[in-house]
Amino acid sequence: MRITEFNRERHETKLRAASRAEGKAEGRAEGRAEGALLNLADLVEDGLLTPAQAAKKAKMTKEKFEAKVAALKKELQLP
């Protein structure tokens, strides 16, 4: 085997590892965003923020904020 020969198995292993790492990074980012949204929702429930203030911090409209929080709570089966 020459050094310049293409090693398909090694190449596929590297591609799978890169894909896995990318998926993990996307999952972490999504988890952080969901956590931030739920934290804002908790502050609203505690009366420390109004829904409008929380939506502003989340950089979305009040309606979109409320809809996203409701959908997220339903998905995670939270009260």
12-29 pLDDT tens trace: 898 999 999 999 999 999
Hey, where are the domains in the chain? 8-76
What per-residue confidence (pLDDT) applies to 44? 97
Measured CA angle at 75 (ends 18, 41), to 5 deg: 100
Closest of 55, 33, 31, 60 to residue 44, by C-alpha: 55
DSSP label at residue 56: H
Those residues whose C-beta lies under 8 Å from the C-beta of residue 37, and which sit 6 or more positions away, are 58, 65, 68, 69, 72
36-69 pLDDT tens trace: 999 999 999 999 999 999 999 999 999 999 999 9
3-state secondary structure of 51: helix
* pTM of the entire predicted model: 0.73
